[in-house]
Structure 1
């Protein structure tokens, strides 16, 4: 019985760790998307200045 409890606790900790890792990945991807949008906006602004 104690072994099963230990396995459940171990699995629960593992799942929590995976959840934290996924949160970090999602945050990093969102930051990257924001950076890409900023670069795209700057490129569009720069290219529109040369069209005048």
Structure 2
């Protein structure tokens, strides 16, 4: 039973690590896309849209 518990804990830890790596990769990709596609005009348009919705 103790060995099974250790295996289950190791599996949970591995899944958590994969999820964290996937989230970090998605965040890095998002940052890159935003940096490449979002310029000052887009910033102004977004700010205007947010303000108009207040």
Using the size of structure 1 for normalisation, the TM-score is 0.70
Larger Rg: 1
Gaps of 5+ in 1: 1-6
Count of equivalent residues: 41
The alignment yields a C-alpha RMSD, in angstroms, of: 1.4
Using the size of structure 2 for normalisation, the TM-score is 0.68
Gaps of 5+ in 2: 43-54
Q: Which runs of at least 4 in structure 1 moved beyond 6 Å after TM superposition?
A: none
1:18 equivalent to 2:22? Answer: no
